[in-house]
Structure 1
Amino acid sequence: MKLLLTSGGVTNASIHRALLGLLGKPVAEASALCIPTAQWGHPWCGPASARRFITDGSPATMCGLGWKSVGVLELTALPSVSQDRWVPWVKEADVLLVDGGDATYLAHWMRASGLAELLPALSETVWVGLSAGSMVMTPRIGKLFVEWPGAPDDRTLGLVNFSIFPHLDHEMMPGNTLAAAEQWASSVAGPCYAIDDQTAITVVDGTAEVVSEGHWKLLRA
């Protein structure tokens, strides 16, 4: 699987070019599935914000990029559906667009649904994460970002070897300062990136590269 891990979505031309490079074809020729599941685990989110994500009604441009088709994959529903139905939907998609919310809740449902187990078979699929949709691929998110009461700890899937502090210096999140990110990094083992909403990290064959028109910092190599 090819990863485009963003803080705020496809927010500038550099991130858009990175997406095209991972897809290997125009957006208009690619089919997408969007996954809003992480929203249900976060107190700031709900039906209205999930609708904004699916209809691309927010600045986090992902679903409205002009895809050939966009469908919705709700992970909480998958345990009640035969894998013979939903696995082909995922395998046929070129890209999975994964919204933010709570990364531990998303990790739980990725495991419970069987999607996490399927990921190694999706070698050509592009995963585009937004905030928690990116953080879920990391080993840990730190207690600072755990909002789901059912989370046993801050561990997530660990498909990459670094952690992410998103929304650096965001105007609506005054606590997301570089100083706060440095303190957060001190409690999370391994490499840590602090990235703003104009920054993303691509991961292909285990190699990570930062794509940015904004501000970011590698807090610990």
Structure 2
Amino acid sequence: MKMLLTSGGVTNSSIRSALVELLGKPIEECHALLIPTAQWGHPLCSPQTVWMSTAGRWPDQQGLTELGWRSVGVLELSALPTIGRERWESWVAAADALLVDGGEAIYLSRWMRESGLADLLPSLADTVWVGVSAGSMVMTPRIGKQFVEWDVEGSDEALGLVDFSIFPHLDYPGWDSNSSDSAARWAAEIEGHSFAIDDHTALAIQEGEVRVVSEGKWLELNA
């Protein structure tokens, strides 16, 4: 699976170009599925924020569904165990991109495992995983205790499909807890290789190679 791991979505031309490169064809020729599941696990999200993501109505932000896809559908992971894998697996296999929204990464990890999607991902060689915030962090080994908002098991361990962790929304205006100093303290706790990225930065992963795509600010930590 190819990945475009972002903090804020496809927010500039450099990230958009990286997405097109990973897709191997124009966005307008591609089919996408939006996965909003992570939002249900985060206390700051609601049915209204899920609608804003689905409809592409976040103010002053071009993130996921509004990029000009040939088609966009919604894939709610918590529903998949009730309908059977033989039905939904074909939907995923037919998608060029999975657009994975932000929210609570550990909650998302739980439903990726329970739905069976996590097991399917290694077979999706040509599919592009486009993550936003928690949708990116879920692919890492750990997210850090301060990002756990759904503390059922008390763990910050995610799927570990990449070998680095991600600190999102670096130096976001008004978010003191996302400062560069906070990122350094977070990295000391994580101990493993990690990146702190702002909303104008992405990590493009193909065939194991990680490339930073940025028109903003980013830090590599514990390299």
The reply to whether TM is greater than 0.5 is: yes
In the TM superposition, what are the counterparts of 1:1-221 in structure 2 within 5 Å?
1-58=1-58, 59-221=61-223
Cα deviation, residue 205, structure 1: 1.2
If the length of structure 1 is used for normalisation, what is the TM-score?
0.98
Query: Which ranges in structure 1 are unaligned for 5 or more consecutive residues?
Result: none
Q: Within 2, Cα distance between the matches of 1:149 and 1:192?
A: 22
8 Å Cα contact 1:14/1:211 also seen in 2: yes
8 Å Cα contact 1:170/1:196 also seen in 2: yes
Structure 1 residue identity aligned to 2:10: V
Q: Deviations over 1:55-112 (max 9, x none)?
A: 1111251101010000000000000011111000000000000000010000000000
Moved more, 27-36 or 53-62: 53-62
8 Å Cα contact 1:105/1:151 also seen in 2: no
Cα deviation, residue 151, structure 1: 3.8
Structure 2 residue identity aligned to 1:9: G
With over 3 angstroms needed to count, the CA separation of the structure-2 counterparts of 1:172 and 1:36, relative to structure 1, is farther
Q: Within 2, Cα distance between the matches of 1:184 and 1:65?
A: 33
Superposed CA RMSD:
0.8
Structure 1 residue identity aligned to 2:21: G
Structure 2 residue identity aligned to 1:146: V
Q: Within 2, Cα distance between the matches of 1:22 and 1:151?
A: 35
If the length of structure 2 is used for normalisation, what is the TM-score?
0.97
Q: Within 1, Cα distance between the matches of 2:169 and 2:50?
A: 19
Secondary structure, in 3 states, of the residue corresponding to 2:172? coil
8 Å Cα contact 1:33/1:93 also seen in 2: yes
Aligned length in residues: 221
8 Å Cα contact 1:53/1:60 also seen in 2: no
Query: Which ranges in structure 2 are unaligned for 5 or more consecutive residues?
Result: none
Cα deviation, residue 220, structure 1: 1.4
8 Å Cα contact 2:191/2:222 also seen in 1: no
Identity %: 58
Would you identify which runs of 4 or more consecutive aligned residues in structure 1 move more than 4 Å?
none
